[in-house]
Structure 1
Amino acid sequence: MVAETQTMTPGRAQSRAAFIMAPYLMIGPGLILACFIILYPFYALINTSLREVNRFGMITDLNNFENFSEVFSDPLFHAAIWRSIIWTGSVVGGTLLISVVTALILHRQFYGRAIARVIIMLPWSVSLSLLAVVWRWALNAESGLLNHSLMQMGLIDAPVVWLGNGTIAFTVEIFIGILVSIPFTTTILLGGLSAMPQDIYEAATMEGATPWHQFRTITMPLMRPFVNIAVVLNMINVFNSFPIIWILTEGGPANSTDILVTYLYKIAFKYGKLGEASVVSLLMVIFLLICSIIYLRLISREQTYGS
């Protein structure tokens, strides 16, 4: 009996080892492929940012961080950074304020609520580039729908060149960015409102709490996880958004509406400075990586509190 037990022990050990290793063996190929897809471009980006690159994309010797020096000494780069901060903060903040009100309205029971929800979500299904093209036509100074409508209502006497002035154009682009971001954010907030227990509100109403007091002490604390998710995801999407500004003004007039992503596109494909473009791209990747880490930390923290 002892000999039989001793002969069975290695087999059991092998079975246990195979059981432990099975999940890693199954996810191993996909994990290796994902690491290659993610890490190799990141390595290539760092390598390109440290070397001289001609207009034909040929990478040569190291250049002692000259690409970094050129980028950091470019005043257009600094202006693009501040404009990116203004663009991201304004669009995310404006989107969140409007989406909270919209989600609260759509969460209430009223006739035609389903149709209203569909109307709010419809712009989300349309290509962002297509929306930007439509807005560019509407903002045309000579034949645009906006000028025509305002003149018909008597609000303006002469057509306004909406995209000819940097300040006006950038403000209009922020407004459009808010409009196209509302459907996604409203969807997230509506999901949070739908998951809230209604008995809390019934108890608060019985205690005499006003709607504002319920919103401040019940709705917003319970909505905090969804608000955090909406803010972080919108920051990533808006910061990296290209079609609106490029299609409307291409960063003009005179680079006055450039953000980092349009600045990157210009120096890479218009001026052929691929090394400097790699530096800008690397900085953007680092920023988006930080946002992703914040997002994951918020998710894990909310799950910890929830449990």
Structure 2
Amino acid sequence: MTSKRVVAPYVLILPSFVLAALIVIWPVNELAQIASHSVNRFGQLRDFVGMANFRALLDDPNFIASLWRTGIWTVAVVGGAVICSVPVALVLNEDFYGRDLARVIVMLPWAVSLTMTAIVWRWALSGESGMLNSALLEFGIIDQNIQWLAEASTAFPMQILIGILVTIPFTVTIILGGLSSIPDDLYEAAALEGAGRWEQFRHITLPLITPFLNIALVLNTIYVFNSFPIIWAMTQGGPANSTDILVTYLYKVGFRLGKLGEASAVSLVMFGILLVFTLIYVRLTTSREVKA
């Protein structure tokens, strides 16, 4: 009887493990095979080269720059989206006339393709006839057109802002789910005790929506870290590779330069970074639950 109880959980999770192996472990194994061999443009493995493809990445300044830029991109977009989404979700959680319409308007960009959104913003940021330059000239804020996407100093910050804008709807949805789960009785009791709006937010709202904020942070980190459309549709990593992140760098190495071994090495590096982040998150979450 005891042995059945020990074996039963493993039997129940076996189908999920097999599915995960097919979806994750097998592709990673294939990537490892390609990354450790020299590969021709047709994907045929040649000689075993060990860590040569990884050493080639470390010797490439564009890879190092893309790695740092990916970190900046991910932290800025995810952090900015969460900071902006909390007040938006708080407003949309209030009971006011037109709330349903306001929620639809906020969520609508989520239904639009990221590629289409990036193309529209590329037109809006055009240095010659873009809507942003036209508006700024009309209000007298600038006296000549700015080449927003043609200069590294402005292209990447603008892409970060657009990344934040397109991430807000999904983040607001998650936070709204957390806010709707908080009983109104808690706020009523706090108000009777003399707690103001800030005290209620600090001691009731924020602690109770923290698990939902954690979910938003993890999911957004994974999505943003691997986000391809915004950077590629707007600048293709330019000018002069100054807006490349790892995923666009991978595309160039693999499909433009035909270096499939190095591209596979980049994929493994990206997988490793996300795996480490996920393990750290799980460890922190588990330790908090144990302490609670």
Which TM-score applies when normalising by structure 1? 0.87
User: Paired residue for 1:248?
Assistant: 234
**Which runs of 4 or more aligned residues in structure 1 lie more than 4 Å from their structure 2 counterparts after TM superposition?**
20-31, 294-306
Q: Distance in 2 between matches of 1:299 and 1:125?
A: 31
Summarize the alignment of residues 117-266 of structure 1 with structure 2, pairs less than 5 Å apart.
117-266=103-252
Query: Which of 109, 112, 117 lines up with 2:95 in the alignment?
Result: 109
| Deviation readout 1:133-172 (Å, 9 max, x if unpaired) | 1111111111212112222222222211100111200000
Q: Distance in 2 between matches of 1:247 and 1:276?
A: 23
**Alpha-carbon deviation of 1:293?**
3.4
Does 214-223 or 183-192 show the bigger shift? 214-223
**Alpha-carbon deviation of 1:111?**
1.3
Q: Residue 299 and residue 194 in structure 1: after superposition, are their counterparts in 2 closer, same or farther (change >3 A)?
A: farther
**Alpha-carbon deviation of 1:30?**
6.7
User: Paired residue for 2:266?
Assistant: 280
Q: Residue 230 and residue 33 in structure 1: after superposition, are their counterparts in 2 closer, same or farther (change >3 A)?
A: closer
Q: Distance in 2 between matches of 1:209 and 1:142?
A: 54
Q: Distance in 1 between matches of 2:15 and 2:188?
A: 52
**Alpha-carbon deviation of 1:65?**
1.3
**Alpha-carbon deviation of 1:213?**
1.3
User: Secondary structure at 1:159's aligned position in 2?
Assistant: coil
Specify the code of the residue in structure 2 equivalent to 1:185.
Answer: T
| 8 Å contact from structure 1 (residues 173, 244) kept in 2 | yes
Q: Distance in 1 between matches of 2:14 and 2:210?
A: 36
1:44 is the counterpart of 2:19: no
CA RMSD of aligned residues (A): 2.5
**Alpha-carbon deviation of 1:24?**
7.8
1:57 is the counterpart of 2:47: no
Query: Which of 36, 60, 81 lines up with 1:95 in the alignment?
Result: 81
Between structure 1 and structure 2, the one with the greater Rg is 1
Identical amino acids, percent of aligned pairs: 55
Q: Distance in 2 between matches of 1:282 and 1:195?
A: 39
Q: Residue 36 and residue 120 in structure 1: after superposition, are their counterparts in 2 closer, same or farther (change >3 A)?
A: same
Q: Residue 25 and residue 192 in structure 1: after superposition, are their counterparts in 2 closer, same or farther (change >3 A)?
A: closer
Q: Residue 245 and residue 27 in structure 1: after superposition, are their counterparts in 2 closer, same or farther (change >3 A)?
A: same
Residue correspondences, number: 292
